[in-house]
Amino acid sequence: MSHTVDSWNTCLNVPLEVEDKEIYELIQQEKWRQYSCLELIASENFTSQAVMEANGSALTNKYSEGLPGARYYGGNEHIDVIENVCRTRALAAFNLDAQKWGVNVQPYSGSTANFSALTGLLAPHDRIMGLDLPSGGHLTHGYATAKKKVSSSAIYFESLPYQVDMTTGYVDYDKLEQNASLFRPKLIICGASAYAREWDYARLRKVADQHGAYLMADIAHISGLVASSEAANPFEYCDVVTTTTHKTLRGPRAGLIFFRRAPKGEKNWDLEERINFAVFPSNQGGPHNNTIAAIAVALKQAASPAFKAYAKQVRANAVALSDALKAKGYKIVTDGTDNHIVLWDLRPIGITGSKMEKLCDYLAITLNKNAVHGDSSALTPGGVRLGTSALTSRSFKEADFVKVAEFLHRGVEIAIKLQSTAGKLLKDFIVAAESSEEVKALKAEVEAFAHSFPMPGFDPSSVPAALRH
């Protein structure tokens, strides 16, 4: 005998469009926004249809605390295989020997990956050194202000940042070494959110070894470039490597922690157990199996020759964007880029990063305000951060980024005009930008340009006409 669906369960098989029109329409509008704008946020990307299918799958229903083969719940025979496939692909994507490296694929995202890595490596109040946030570093690398320990990495550990050289914008390794000799860190973290240059991992290893410290790289921004050998290899020198999976790696939103493996008794032999225990049970509960499957899909893609070509183009596009802005007389931090990031110093033209970000929102150009080394106030960052990974996923090439630079230049010209009439206050600037006919005309041009490129992951023509705004 077969059973019928009870009345309290009828909602379980209704499509989103019918079941929750409000959320459905907001998703359609967001899809149209992504398709219509020039996406320049350096930490974002457009993931593939296959990744989104895995991410939106029935795997979200399953609990599986523990690791493959050692779970706290039954019914994990397929989940175990999926997590093992993901682990194998993670090592393969980064060309790692499974005898020497292991990986935990369960971190919910980059910040939890980093805190789990710190939990596994350190005892409370151990000393850490990471790149200062205003120098382009990340919150989770020990960020504190003079008044407040902001990140849990500064609340539970003692943090002394290192910085970029205030003249060149490059990491000041000499000063780092000098400060480390006084501070004697237990962990040095390299990696950044707004640093366009390559890392000297060998130098950092040398400093770490002077103090018997661990060296950890957070390659969240550049992991797609590392996987495709378009960036230096941190695995040669580091004990632990963390990353998010949704930036240049182009997967779902999640994190990974790679750790060295060694025979019992040798250096780092117990890292595997310490990192795994730090992820679960110390910091997380049940893994997000739908996300782990989606990471596996992204890692398969990242190991392909097509992804290598993509990563190469990401870098070429960043150079083209940086060169085109410089040709217009603008100042780029460090005078260029080695990766996907272009950090644009707006201080010489007298426009704050906040105003440029706002204006660009009205122009359908998405970017973010960013501190530039030497900024006097963290509240009014002097620059904006641009990245080329998302638009390269839409098949933009160098010439297209020259056009993007032209749009940005016209945006700056409008911003200067608006500021001269509206005055210095951001709120007055926003009012002026909202009603500017010049802004509306340029936005229409930007959108027409954006619409001429393909969109990965979804078909924009599926967005109902009424929701295209």
- Active centre residues (catalytic): 63, 65, 218, 244, 247, 253
Q: How far is the CB of 131 from ligand DSN (least distance, A)?
A: 12
Q: How far is the CB of 72 from ligand DSN (least distance, A)?
A: 30
Cβ proximity to ligand DSN: between 64 and 389 the closer is: 389
Cβ proximity to ligand DSN: between 110 and 234 the closer is: 110
Residues 106, 267: contact at Cβ < 8 Å?
no
Sheet holding 331-332, edge to edge: 331-332, 341-345, 383-387, 368-370
* Spatial distance between the Cα atoms of 138 and 402, rounded to a whole number of angstroms: 29
* Helix, strand, coil distribution of the chain in percent, nearest 5: 50, 10, 40
* Spatial distance between the Cα atoms of 230 and 198, rounded to a whole number of angstroms: 10
Cβ proximity to ligand DSN: between 133 and 187 the closer is: 133
Residues 355, 415: contact at Cβ < 8 Å?
yes
Residue nearest to ligand DSN as judged by C-beta position: 43
Cβ proximity to ligand DSN: between 101 and 195 the closer is: 195
In sign, the C-alpha dihedral spanning 322, 170, 192, 135 is: negative
Q: How far is the CB of 410 from ligand DSN (least distance, A)?
A: 25
Q: How far is the CB of 367 from ligand DSN (least distance, A)?
A: 11
Query: Phi first, then psi: what are they for 420, rounded to 5°?
Result: -70, -25
- DSSP letter at 9 equals G
Bridge-based pairing of strands 214-218 and 240-244 is: parallel
* Spatial distance between the Cα atoms of 141 and 176, rounded to a whole number of angstroms: 15
Binding residues for ligand DSN, per CB under 6 A?
Answer: 43, 110, 138, 193
Q: How far is the CB of 431 from ligand DSN (least distance, A)?
A: 28
Strand partners, 187: 128, 214
